[in-house]
Every structure is written in structure tokens, then in C-alpha cells.
Structure 1
Amino acid sequence: MEDKLARAQVALERHGIKTTVVDTPEEAKAFILKEVRPGQRVGVGGSRSIEALGVVPELEALGCRVAWHWRGNGPEEVLALRRAQLSADVFLASSNAVTEDGRLVNVDGVGNRVGAMVFGPPKVILVCGQNKVVPDLEAALDRVHNVAAPLNGRRLNTGTPCAVAGRCTDCNSPGRMCAVTVIIERRPQKTDLQVVLVRTDLGY
């Protein structure tokens, strides 16, 4: 087991989390399209990984009602879409980091993404590129704070200290993206949580 994705898969499955390893983003998209039924309500968390798959238009072509707050017009609609994600039939997102010992580590500013991951939607599918697989919890938190958050801050033009400095400063900024940390160590009891690991880099 020299392959870090294979190690993560074994550990996640030992923790009750169904895990599939694929080679390409196209295979990850095909997995989602197989798992989602026509007409279902689908929530999409803030995720460059899901965006990169280009799966949303195909889901809509199947008659799925997609709640994706990145499409919202104005703060009220964005908030409504975030709330709608919590009651979707299927929730699609990524994880900020996946450890080789089988943990999913996620940090949110608002909390809709991590909330939907653990309870609400009956089925959750997390698509994670190989760049997000790290050895352990310490490396996962370091990745979140010093890679993912600064890059997202720059993308969103938040002006947060990490976006400027390129690393975490443990700020008290009003726009701080690291407000809620959720570590999934075992499958949540009422959620069909599935992980798709992709042998390419995806997202932050």
C-alpha cells in the first residue's frame, strides 16, 4: 500500500465511509450521475472541485433542482440557497483535506457546507483530488489554514489577512473563513456518506 489514495480508501472504509478511487474527473462526474436520480433535489456546497467536474448542467438536464449558492443573486438569495442545501436529497461537495488514516477535515466560515455533510441530506458525495490527501490530522489542518483558506480568500477577494499574507494569522477578521472546524472520523449514523478520490489535483 504505497499509494496514499489507496491507504486513505482503506482507512475511510474501515470507518464506515464508502470510498471509490478513480483516475479522472470525468469518472468522478460519471459516478455522481449514476448516484443521483432524475428529479432529485441536489445541494452543491462551495466547491471548486465540483465546479470543475461540470456536472451541474447535466444534473439539471435530468430535471434535478440544484441549490448552489454560488449562483445566488444578492445576499438574501445566497442565504436561501445555503439553507436549501440542508434539505436536499443529495449534497455534493469536496473536503478540505483527507487523511491517510481515514479522517475528513473541513473548515467553514458560514457552516452550511459542513452542516450538510453530517446531517440533513440523506446522501452526501465528496469528490476530493489527490492534492487533498495528507498523512495525518496535523498536516490536514496545516493544509486548510495555509493552503486552502489563503487561496479561497484571494479568489473571493475577502481582504482577510491570510489572503494577503498567503498563510494563516489566526485572525479575528469579520470575513474570517475559518470559523467552524468539523472532523469526520466515522460515517455519521444517519447519512449515506460517500467519498470519491481522484488521481489528479482538483480544487484547493
Structure 2
Amino acid sequence: MSEQTKADYIDDVDVDEEWDAHPSDAELEEAVESLEESGFEVEVVADAEEALEVVTEEIPEGASVMNGHSTTLEEIGFMEYLNEGEHEWENLYGEVFSIDDDQARAKARREAQTADYFLGSVNAIGREDGTLVAADLSGSRIGAYPFAAGHVVTVAGVNKVVADEEAARERLHDYAYAFENERAQEAYGVESYPSKELVVRQETVEGRTTVVLVEETLGY
């Protein structure tokens, strides 16, 4: 199936588009400071092209790499880059989804949560308290974030920056879920649900989690 972006679902959801508003310069600076105080490494980049450059430079040669589904990763061109093989990484995503047997593939997906580098996105970022909020149905997208992966690289457009954890969870449920539900129905023929929700308030391992903030509207 071809990659899809939020634009593919925009006419099928009824949500408040104010959830995609960009922060002011001062608010973005506050977000960066709060995230760093929470133990995250932060990179602010101008656009998707620069985001792809930062992400690919973050991953060392020979590292095992896995990712959860992320519209943002698709939009910055990472999935295309990964599948074209223009790197010297162990592409666990390609290995996992080349397995035909359902049980063997599920086992491999679980094992891939412990990749050297796990990439994805989040649904919202609290600028005042430096929190990351994300959810999905199965947990396969966010399972590696808290502990399993050696390093986590999460990419997010600044449209996901909101006031605090409470607003971040509200954005998840009132906005992002509508888009993910549409995507899941088109991709898998089933409805989604934010059944497994993750709030990361602090990264305790120095250098483990990097947040790449892109000064564009990306993902949902």
C-alpha cells in the first residue's frame, strides 16, 4: 500500500483545526527549554528536508533501526530513504515485514522494540512541562519509547506543541485520534482506538531520547 499523509483524510474528519496552530517564537523556545529540563535532547529544524538530514545523521553505521508507524516519518521522507537502502544500518522494519507467517512476524516485531534506534513521533508536546504524549491501539508504535530501545528519535511538527500535559492529552483524544481512526480503516479495515496511552514526563538516561522539532505542520 502506498504511503499516505494527513491530507488523505482531511475531508473525512470533523475536528478543530486550531489544534494545528503553530507556537510563537517565545512559546517554541519555552518548549525547547522545558524538554531539555526533562532530559530530552532537542533539535529544532526549519523543514522536512532538514529533519531527514538530522535523523539520518543521528543513526550510526551498523545500528539496528526500527520504527513504529508515523505519518510524520513518511512526510519527511524517512520511510522512502529507509526502504531504498541508502544507509548502512540493520533495517529491522524491512526484515519484520518480509515475514509471511503472522506469529513469526508478531514475535519479530516484539523483539525489534529493543532496536539500537527506534524512530517515530508523538501526538502532542507540552511546552510548559516538557512532556511527550502518544497513543495507539496495540502499543507497537510506542512500546519502545519508555525503556526497550537503546535510543529513541521522535520527530514532530511544531503544530503538536501545546500548553501542557493536560492540553497534550486533549489534543490526542480530540484531534489526532480522528485522523488515526481514518487511516486505520483505510490501511487495515478496522477502527483504531487510543487504548494504550503513553506520557513521558522525563528521560532519565542522558542522550537516549532526541526530539526533532520541525517548524512546519507535519503529522497529526
Asked whether 1:16 is paired with 2:39, we answer: yes
CA deviation after TM superposition for structure 1 residue 71, in Å: 4.9
Backbone CA RMSD of aligned residues: 2.4
Larger relative contact order, structure 1 or 2 (CA cutoff 8 Å, min sep 6):
2
Aligned pairs, number: 189
Aligned to 2:121: 94
Task: Mark the runs of 5 or more structure 1 residues left unpaired by the alignment.
Answer: 159-173
CA deviation after TM superposition for structure 1 residue 130, in Å: 1.2
Residues in 2 aligned to 1:95 and 1:146: alpha-carbon distance in whole angstroms: 15
Aligned to 2:163: 135
Change (3 A) 1:111 1:16: same
For the residue of structure 1 that corresponds to 2:141, the secondary structure is helix
CA deviation after TM superposition for structure 1 residue 40, in Å: 1.7
Name which of 86, 89, 93 aligns with 1:61: 86
Aligned to 1:43: 66
Name which of 133, 137, 143 aligns with 1:105: 133
**TM-score, length-scaled by structure 1:** 0.82
CA contact (8 A) 1:39 1:62 kept: no
CA deviation after TM superposition for structure 1 residue 66, in Å: 2.3
Aligned to 1:26: 49
CA contact (8 A) 2:39 2:205 kept: no
Aligned to 2:106: 79
Superimposed CA distance per residue, residues 113-150 of structure 1 (whole angstroms, 9 cap, x where no aligned partner): 22201112111100010111111122111111111111
Identity of aligned residues (%): 31
Asked whether 1:193 is paired with 2:209, we answer: yes
CA deviation after TM superposition for structure 1 residue 85, in Å: 2.9
CA contact (8 A) 1:99 1:136 kept: yes
CA contact (8 A) 2:124 2:161 kept: yes
CA contact (8 A) 1:103 1:184 kept: yes
Name which of 188, 194, 201 aligns with 1:178: 194
Task: Mark the runs of 5 or more structure 2 residues left unpaired by the alignment.
Answer: 1-23
CA deviation after TM superposition for structure 1 residue 190, in Å: 7.6
Change (3 A) 1:56 1:155: closer
**TM-score, length-scaled by structure 2:** 0.76
